[in-house]
Chains A and B, each alone.
Chain A
Amino acid sequence: DSGVTQTPKHLITATGQRVTLRCSPRSGDLSVYWYQQSLDQGLQFLIQYYNGEERAKGNILERFSAQQFPDLHSELNLSSLELGDSALYFCASSALRQAGTEAFFGQGTRLTVV
């Protein structure tokens, strides 16, 4: 158990809908990262928050947004969903702001858009 909790584990929704994925980082970790994992793209970095502030953006679509709350949990909001958004979404947390320290991954949320 990595200590990172993601909910829900599975989500099935229709195209055009909006969903929210939730992540609770390891106790004491201030950095939260979101990754998308699809079969042909591997793990793609979406966005990072550190202590409530956005720190880095990767290949995140404009239809997607995220935030980190004062209790350090994070939510990833996906809207106007398309079939191609079906993927595993992982949250990871680490203690420090920079990369180069161990990032702990949650078990992921499998999103299926039908």
Chain B
Amino acid sequence: QQQVKQSPQSLIVQKGGIPIINCAYENTAFDYFPWYQQFPGKGPALLIAIRPDVSEKKEGRFTISFNKSAKQFSLHIMDSQPGDSATYFCAASASGANNLFFGTGTRLTVIP
């Protein structure tokens, strides 16, 4: 059973566009929601993370929007660049838990 559901599976945008990746969860005990970026041949790297006490968090061109009542969160990439082409994973974990539950990933391609 997939604890975190992620969509879309793949996404193609033009340079400068704003790709949006969505994730949903069911476990209300989740209280930490990170996004990881993975380039081919590399391990996932933490991009940005949010806790449910805020509805939005920005770091540079990356923004997480969080909707606690809907149990959904999303990643927006402003002014996307070809270098942003990678696979993005959302994840979630609960306090006191010891592991992250990952979504199935979104392969983003930014066309020059």
User: Which residues does A use to contact B, with CB under 8 Å?
Assistant: 2, 4, 31, 33, 35, 41-45, 48, 50, 55-56, 58, 90, 92, 97-100, 102-108
* A42 and B105 contact, Cβ closer than 8 Å, known pairs A90-B44, A99-B93, A100-B93: yes
User: Which residues does B use to contact A, with CB under 8 Å?
Assistant: 31-32, 34, 36, 41-46, 49, 51, 89, 91, 93-105
* A105 and B32 contact, Cβ closer than 8 Å, known pairs A42-B104, A99-B98, A100-B93: no
Among residues of B, the one whose C-beta sits closest to the C-beta of A97 is B98
B31, A100: Cβ atoms closer than 8 Å: yes
Q: Report B-chain residues with C-beta under 8 Å of the C-beta of A107.
A: 41-43
A98, B96: Cβ atoms closer than 8 Å: yes
A98, B98: Cβ atoms closer than 8 Å: yes
Q: Report B-chain residues with C-beta under 8 Å of the C-beta of A41.
A: 104
Ranked nearest first, the 8 interchain pairs of A and B with the lowest CB-CB distance are A105-B43, A99-B93, A56-B98, A42-B104, A43-B102, A100-B32, A45-B99, A48-B98
